[in-house]
């Protein structure tokens, strides 16, 4: 999306939240089906379910939310999964800090962590995944700092 207006950014963000909510729901349904119907191990069910949510999130954002034709789907997918894995790490650290350090209930820690990571993920995908990728992002920042 070339429109950089606040309204366009808000629309992208709202669409992103809706798509992420759908992907989270898909993750949960697949988890329950794999565990309860196919009786797979919990870790395997959780991993496959998480992967299904990530793939759905990527494809829906690529084709329905972010206008992006400048990079290959493989390049976008690679960046998407790196941003998502960083988000997973950030979520894990925040959960540990909020539950063990601040003694928040698990549900509150989850809501806060997911909220923070949602902003990271949106920014990362908007700035890198569906634009030029990590190298282009860093290159642009270096050019800006050198021109100051």
Are 43 and 85 in the same domain? no
For the chain, the average pLDDT equals 90
Q: Contact at 8 Å (CB) between 105 and 82?
A: no
104-137 pLDDT tens trace: 998 899 889 988 999 999 999 999 999 888 788 8
Q: How far apart are CA 8 and CA 11, in angstroms?
A: 5
Outline where DSSP puts E strands in the chain: none
Considering the entire predicted model, what is its pTM?
0.82
Q: Which residue among 67, 94, 113 closes a domain?
A: 67
Q: Which residue among 52, 67, 82 closes a domain?
A: 67
pLDDT interval class at 1 (50, 70, 90): very low
Q: Which domain holds residue 13?
A: 1-67
User: What pLDDT does 3 receive?
Assistant: 60
Q: Contact at 8 Å (CB) between 40 and 34?
A: yes
């Amino acid at each position: 999306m070339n429109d950089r207006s606040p309204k366009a950014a808000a629309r992208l963000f709202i669409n992103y939240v809706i798509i992420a909510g759908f992907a989270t729901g898909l993750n949960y349904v697949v988890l329950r089906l794999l565990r309860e119907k196919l009786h797979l191990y919990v870790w395997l069910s959780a991993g496959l379910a998480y992967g299904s949510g990530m793939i759905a999130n990527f494809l829906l954002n690529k084709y329905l939310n972010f206008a992006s034709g400048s990079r290959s789907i493989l390049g976008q997918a690679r960046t998407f999964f790196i941003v998502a894995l960083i988000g997973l790490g950030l979520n894990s650290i925040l959960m540990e800090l909020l539950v063990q350090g601040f003694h928040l209930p698990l549900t509150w820690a989850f809501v806060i962590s997911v909220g923070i990571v949602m902003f990271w993920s949106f920014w990362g995908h908007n700035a890198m995944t569906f634009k030029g990728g990590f190298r282009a992002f860093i290159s642009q920042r270096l050019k800006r700092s050198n021109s100051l």
